[in-house]
């Protein structure tokens, strides 16, 4: 299951609107979500981003995003930031974090 959402990327003390992509895998009643987004390299550098930031979801939940090392001008013009997989006990918990999945995430 995949869905796109809108959140805010927290870098330092500042929040920036940002689109993200969520991939969810279901195992029995449990769900595992991985979040990723693409951000412009030069913009990240100007914001003081090094290798980690926090994505604040519309639900208020916070997801840690990482890049595999400090971002600098040698990186691709679009930088991928990813979370580690986050587990949810059931569909209700998943929907509480990611309401963009709607009432039926299947």
* Alpha-carbon separation of residue 1 from 22, 24, 61, 93, 105 (angstroms): 8, 5, 20, 16, 7
Residue 34 lies in a domain: yes
Q: For residue 44, how many C-alpha atoms fall within 13 Å in the half-sphere facing its CB? A: 28
pLDDT at 28 over 50: yes
* Alpha-carbon separation of residue 31 from 64, 84, 89, 90, 93 (angstroms): 18, 13, 7, 6, 9
Mean pLDDT estimate for the chain: 92
Number of domains present in the structure of the chain: 1
Q: Alpha-carbon distance 24 to 90, whole Å?
A: 12
Among 12-16, 32-36, 84-88, whose mean pLDDT is lowest? 12-16
Residue 55 lies in a domain: yes
Query: Containing domain of residue 33, as a range?
Result: 2-63+70-101
Of residues 32 and 105, which shows the higher confidence score?
32
Residue 106 lies in a domain: no
Q: What is the pTM of this model?
A: 0.87
The reported pLDDT for the residue numbered 101 is 86
The reported pLDDT for the residue numbered 9 is 96
């Amino acid at each position: 299951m995949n869905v796109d959402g809108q959140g805010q990327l927290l870098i330092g003390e500042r929040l920036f609107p940002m689109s993200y992509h969520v991939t969810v895998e279901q195992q029995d009643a449990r769900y595992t979500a991985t979040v990723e987004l693409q951000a412009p390299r030069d913009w990240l550098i100007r914001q003081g981003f090094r290798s980690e930031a926090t994505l604040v979801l519309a639900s208020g939940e916070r997801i840690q995003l990482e890049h595999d090392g400090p971002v600098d001008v040698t990186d691709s013009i679009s930088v991928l930031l990813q979370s580690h997989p986050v587990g949810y006990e059931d569909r209700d918990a998943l929907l509480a974090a990611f309401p963009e999945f709607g009432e039926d995430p299947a």
